[in-house]
């Protein structure tokens, strides 16, 4: 019985991988964004301007078999140069020593329109498993006849888990920067 179960599982896996196709990221139509509370009353938003990803996507089942991403830490951009330089410093990303943030998908479960992706996120050399909600999965054939997939990834992390611990206590209580960071990534990729 164990042998039969193993054969069935291997067949399903190989069939699934056979239908998956590699994609290249369309960086001009993608965005890696984040937001965090400032003074506990407003959200400060930012993004990373340099990133890449390898994606294997199955159009028939709308399933992700692979998503690995690399983000260049120095490309952080919040619209204020002084704040961006602080984020690149030892207080936060330590970008000179840790030039890349990476995400490597471990599993995906979805229903075709949305799903949940689990993977390892590495910041400052510290890897933690994170959950990302996958929303608004859409596919289209573009004017050149290329298949494209687009989707949104959303999640939350605690920045302290990645040693991004700088903060300043406020005189009236609370802190300058919130602990929770919201992630929102817009992805468009082209079938190869």
- pTM, two decimals, is 0.84
Mean pLDDT, residues 145-161 taken together: 94
Question: Would residue 14 count as lying in a domain?
Answer: no
Q: Does residue 62 fall inside a structural domain?
A: yes
Q: What is the total count of domains within the chain?
A: 1
Q: What is the pLDDT of residues 4-38, one digit of tens each?
A: 334 334 434 434 444 679 999 999 999 999 988 76
In a domain, 161, yes or no: yes
Contact 185, 176 (CB under 8 A): no
Q: Are residues 108 and 97 in contact, defined by beta-carbon separation less than 8 angstroms?
A: no
CATH value at residue 171: 2.40.128.110
Q: What is the DSSP letter of 34?
A: E
C-alpha distances in angstroms, 107 versus 42, 45, 46, 104, 183?
34, 28, 27, 9, 19
The C-alpha atoms of residue 121 and residue 153 are separated, in whole angstroms, by 13
Domain range for residue 98? 21-191
Average pLDDT score over residue span 166-184: 67
pLDDT confidence tier of residue 163, bands split at 50, 70 and 90: confident
């Amino acid at each position: 019985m164990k042998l039969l179960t193993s054969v069935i599982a291997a067949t399903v896996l190989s069939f699934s991988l056979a239908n998956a196709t590699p994609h290249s990221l369309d960086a001009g139509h993608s965005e890696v964004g984040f937001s965090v509370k400032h003074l506990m009353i407003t959200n400060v938003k930012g993004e990373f301007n340099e990133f890449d990803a390898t994606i294997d996507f199955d159009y028939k089942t709308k399933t992700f078999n692979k998503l690995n991403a690399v983000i260049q830490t120095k490309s952080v951009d919040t619209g204020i140069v002084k704040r961006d330089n602080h984020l690149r410093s030892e207080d936060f990303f330590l970008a000179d020593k840790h030039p890349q943030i990476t995400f490597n998908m471990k599993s995906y479960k979805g229903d075709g329109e949305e799903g949940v992706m689990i993977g390892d996120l590495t910041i400052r050399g510290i890897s933690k498993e994170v959950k990302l909600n996958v929303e608004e999965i859409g596919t289209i054939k573009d004017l050149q006849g290329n298949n494209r997939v687009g989707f949104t990834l959303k999640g939350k992390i605690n920045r302290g888990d990645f040693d991004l611990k700088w903060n300043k206590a406020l005189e009236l209580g609370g802190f300058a920067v919130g602990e929770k960071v919201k992630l929102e990534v817009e992805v468009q990729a082209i079938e190869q």
